[in-house]
Amino acid sequence: MARRLSIVIFLIVLGGAALYFWNKGASSSVITANTEASTTLSSAKDHESTSTATVAVESSEKTQTTEIASNQEPAQMVPRSRRLPKSERDSIKLNTQNAEFSESPLFADSDWKIWNGVRAVPKNAGPPSAVVVGEMTGFYLVKEEAADPSAFSASQPIVVYDARLGIAGVVTGTFSVVLKEGVSPQVLTQNLGLKVLNSFPDIRTYYVTSPQEPFDLKVVQDILKNDPSLESSEMEILSRTYEKN
């Protein structure tokens, strides 16, 4: 009897111990699972916060870049022509009152006409004693006997006028020419006997004039127009828009 009682007590103790350790293992598993889930959730939240912060920063940077770009003027934009200050406009007024103009075969393909009784005087010669009827870069336009196109000299440029545009111009005696592809620029000096003032070989463009003075502008113009080695030629006319009185 005592032996059986001892066996029963042993089995009860053994069962209790087994139940205790089983409950302890299950509780540890739940705690571990909860800890891992909490860690995963926290990591996910941290990642989400980091992503949100990154997007916010990128969005802020993009917004800032856009604002800067919208406030800056594009590099290729060309500003509008500014209106000259009053003092500068007053100094370049053109007086065409009682002016007379005559046509010339030199300008048959344009609206330019020779301004009779007016001559261009270089400003580096000092203020002229004659009446000034206008100014332009480098020249005074004065009331003096006009130069003769058939006996032209660079020291006495011819003044012309375009009534349609209301502008004056100065004929310098220089011609711009464009050579045909493959033509040597020596044709200008050796064949045509001209003097080269400026050259731009990359675009086959040269500025030429007669090596002797005085010379006939029309003769040089015709030589250049009729030469087969030239692609084009044009008489140089310095001009600037003036404000009328």
| pLDDT tens-digit profile, the chain (245 residues) | 556 666 666 667 666 666 666 655 544 444 444 445 444 444 444 544 444 444 333 444 443 433 333 344 444 433 333 343 443 333 457 888 888 999 999 999 899 999 999 989 888 888 888 899 988 878 889 888 888 899 999 888 899 999 998 899 999 999 999 999 999 999 999 999 999 999 999 999 999 999 999 999 999 999 999 999 999 999 999 986 443 33
Phi, psi angles (nearest 5°) of residue 146: -70, 150
Name the CA radius of gyration of the chain, rounded.
47
Query: What's the predicted TM-score (pTM) here?
Result: 0.59
C-alpha 7/C-alpha 228 separation (Å) is 134
Count of other CB atoms within 10 angstroms of residue 123: 14
Domain ranges of the chain: 100-239
The reported pLDDT for the residue numbered 4 is 64
The reported pLDDT for the residue numbered 130 is 87
* Residue written as token pair 């375009």: 162
* Cβ atoms of residues 154 and 231 within 8 Å: no
* Cβ atoms of residues 152 and 158 within 8 Å: yes
The reported pLDDT for the residue numbered 152 is 92
